[in-house]
Amino acid sequence: MPAESDVEALFVYDGGRFVPTEYARGPWSPDALHGGPVAALVARTVESCVPEAPMLVTRLTIELLRPVPLAPLSVSATVSRPGRKVQVVEARISAGGRDVAWGRAVRIRLWPPGQDRAGLPDPRGGPVPGRHGGAPPGPDAGHRSPEPLGGYRAFHNHGAEMRFVVGEFASRGPSAVWVRLARPVVPGEAPTPLQRAAAAADFGNGVSSELDFARFSFINPDLSVHLWRQPVGEWVCLEASTAIGAPGVGVAQSALWDTEGPVGRSLQSLVIDSRGAP
């Protein structure tokens, strides 16, 4: 059973396992988690393998093997590829003795503070291709949008705050939306930049839908987040778009921003079905 709703976090730690609260639920079913909290938990698990020298997670990939239930979750992580400059950390989340999600992170060593950085560009500068051709309007310029799915307390309506600056849930096509965690991943612990980016990035398919929520589902079995620097502050912006390809298949992609500039990209594969289809 999920943790009680008066717990102001996505998960609570109990007996060596992480128990989801209702703030972690997803839009497609009240009995399964949103991918964002799962991605944030994978990020936290990866970060538990602390490197000896400062490193940046430049890629975090989450494989959602099956719907992640509202049930106690066991997590583990190991450094599968050690190295001084590049490392790979693998994470696993299981429920009831079955794996429900895998994670793999690539992290790259950072230059020490005293090393000469002359000739390197400012990592916050330079627009990336997107709907605006430059930085999107900030979160203060955004507005909330009614959610088309899930008439119950869940991640997309109570676990996260969303402010659209382009588009909204009810409209089809590309959008730009600022996202921040309204609840910590676990009680008493401030979310890290990686956890914030991973949780926000999983909204890409939902905020840029090319399909009617009432007629279709378009669930992502994976999420890959690439970062060239850590996001700053609570807000992460997604400039998101969805492409529909072969029957039953799509891809959502997002340019990721913070209030200081671009920070990375994310991609999601999509499984498209008619609602009610087997």
Is residue 156 pLDDT above 60, yes or no?
yes
Predicted TM-score (pTM) of this structure: 0.92
pLDDT digits (tens, 9 = 90+) for 17-56: 999 999 999 988 899 999 999 999 999 999 999 999 999 9
Task: State the amino acid at position 8 in one-letter form.
Answer: E
What own/partner pairs with CB < 8 Å and gap ≥ 24 does 128-131 have?
128/255, 128/262, 128/265, 129/255, 130/176, 130/239, 130/255, 131/166, 131/174, 131/176, 131/239, 131/241
Task: State the amino acid at position 232 in one-letter form.
Answer: V
Maximum separation of any 2 CA atoms in the chain, in Å = 59
Structure tokens at 7: 């717990």
pLDDT digits (tens, 9 = 90+) for 208-255: 999 988 899 999 999 999 999 999 999 999 999 999 999 999 999 999
Distance CA 17, CA 115 (A): 42
Which one of 1.20.1280.50, 3.10.450.50, 3.40.50.300, 2.40.160.210 gives the CATH number of domain 11-109+132-274? 2.40.160.210
Task: State the amino acid at position 105 in one-letter form.
Answer: A
Distance CA 273, CA 157 (A): 24
pLDDT of 116 reads: 77
Q: pLDDT band at residue 277, thresholds of 50, 70 and 90? A: low
Determine whether 252 is exposed, middle or buried from the number of CB atoms within 10 Å of its CB (0-12, 13-18, 19+): buried
Residue 166 in contact with residue 175, Cβ under 8 Å? yes
Residue 241 in contact with residue 253, Cβ under 8 Å? yes
3-state secondary structure of 87: strand
**Position of tokens 């049930």?**
71
